[in-house]
Structure 1
Amino acid sequence: MPKANVTFEDIGVTVTVPAGTRLIEISEKVGAGITYGCREGECATCMMRIVSGMENMSERSVLEDKVLQENMAGRQHRLACQAQVLGGEVVVRPG
């Protein structure tokens, strides 16, 4: 199974995970500072910034794109509850 390396810039931790893992699941396991409310992609509290490696992330779903647009988020922002790491190297930080 393909793997991905995810670095949480806020806590300086890098973890290797199976491809397809949602960022919120990884965050919970390593104690990163990504907060969340609904886990359904509706509240935007888990919004995070992809510092590098956006090409290694899943495409935005219609729901995620709508919520991010409503919150005037830039293209480098994703919802941790929706975004999946597909492989390679990804660096993230809350906000």
Structure 2
Amino acid sequence: MAKAKITFEDINQTVNVPAGTRIIEISEKIGAGVIYGCREGDCGTCMMEVTEGWNNLTEPSVLEEKVLRENMAGRHYRLACQAQILGDCKVKPA
């Protein structure tokens, strides 16, 4: 299985994970500061900024795009409960 590196800038920690893992799952395991409320892509509390490797995440779903738009999120913002890592990236809580 392909691996990818993700760096959580808020705690300055980089981990190797299997490609396809949702970022919220990694954040929970290592104690990063990405908070969440629902895990369904509906509330927007797990919004994060992707500072590097934006193209190394899965494409946003229609629901995720709607929530990001409603929250006036910038181009490099994603929901950690929806974004799956495909390659190396760096993130921080929004």
Same fold flag (TM > 0.5): yes
Length-normalised TM-score, structure 1: 0.97
Match of 2:81 in 1: 81
Cα offset, 1:42, TM superposition: 0.6
Match of 2:89 in 1: 90
Superposed CA RMSD: 0.5
**Higher strand residue share:** 1
Cα offset, 1:75, TM superposition: 1.0
Cα offset, 1:80, TM superposition: 0.2
Correspondence list, 1:10-89, <5 A: 10-87=10-87, 89=88
Counterpart residue type for residue 91 of structure 2:
V
- Count the aligned residue pairs: 94
Gaps of 5+ in 2: none
Match of 1:5 in 2: 5
> Which contiguous aligned blocks of 4+ residues in structure 1 show a shift greater than 3 angstroms?
none
Length-normalised TM-score, structure 2: 0.98
Whole-Å Cα distance in 1 between the matches of residues 55 and 79 of structure 2? 16
SS in 2 for 1:73: coil
